[in-house]
Structure 1
Amino acid sequence: MFEIRVICDPAETEPIVAALDRTFTVGTVSVYPTRDRKRNRLYARAESKPTDAEPAESSLAAEQAYANAPSINSEIGWAARTLAAAGCFTELGRDFYLRKAALLDRIALLDEPDIPYGDATAAADAAAVFLMDMDQPGPFYDPRTYVRQQYAHWLSSEQ
């Protein structure tokens, strides 16, 4: 991931944003006026787009992130026990929401070969966005890829 900063005339803003989208995988592009208010400053986080020869990053990340994860059934049991013991959602920490998002992502991956995607995919997407909102990491292309990266990091630190 890298950051892009562009200063341009206001009339060039939309064509530049479109060109960034065609060239890179770009998160939200923030637009601010320059101090003299004559030009725009554009800021974006981006990644190189994978070539056709590269495997899709999200499926590769899923295989790597969940390679040493406990079984789905085990994680469902852990989540149920944790919820029962907490008594209140405000007592649940980031680890709970990370593990929940990863669990829902794993379930959705089982569902996703069938199109249209079902409720599992919608639940996984919502949990991933919630985790990103909680962490506020900045714009990322795919919230579920973010969950996989964070889960792999968390799992490696737990072992």
Structure 2
Amino acid sequence: MAAVASKSVLFVCLGNICRSPIAEAVFRKLVQDESVENQWMIDSGAVSDWNVGSSPDARALSCLRKYGIETSHKGRQVTKDDFFTYDYILCMDESNLRDLKRKSGQIKNCKAKIELLGTYDPQKLLIIEDPYYGNEEDFETVYQQCVRCCKSFLEKCS
């Protein structure tokens, strides 16, 4: 019988096509590498509804592939249930944090700890900037931040 995931994390950004799917894919790879994937429920979502059903940005997918990481994620918006379902909701910037805290304030008994993914960055870079209007280098920066933050987050939760 398969073990039920005992921990859960939802990565969130504005549109769920750049930063949060990168963070989700990076974290999935880390838990697989540590052979603890059966202990985790992992997903990503958006505060907006702009990209529901869309694949991640081609530049995000290209960056992930460069490191041997694949994802089949489709964009989705954060739901009320997410605040009950997930232990952690980790977002990318202050705007995401404000939106999520406002939404969680409308929910009784919010289970999720909502915080910036960057709070786990050993280099103390709190904000993971949106690379959407940037170039491949900006996606690389997001990837490297997500690797550092996700490794630290996993260590703290182990």
> What is the TM-score of this pair, normalised by structure 1?
0.27
Which structure shows the bigger proportion of residues in helix conformation? 1
State the TM-score, normalizing by the size of structure 2: 0.27
Structure ranking higher on relative contact order (CA contacts 8 Å, 6+ apart): 2
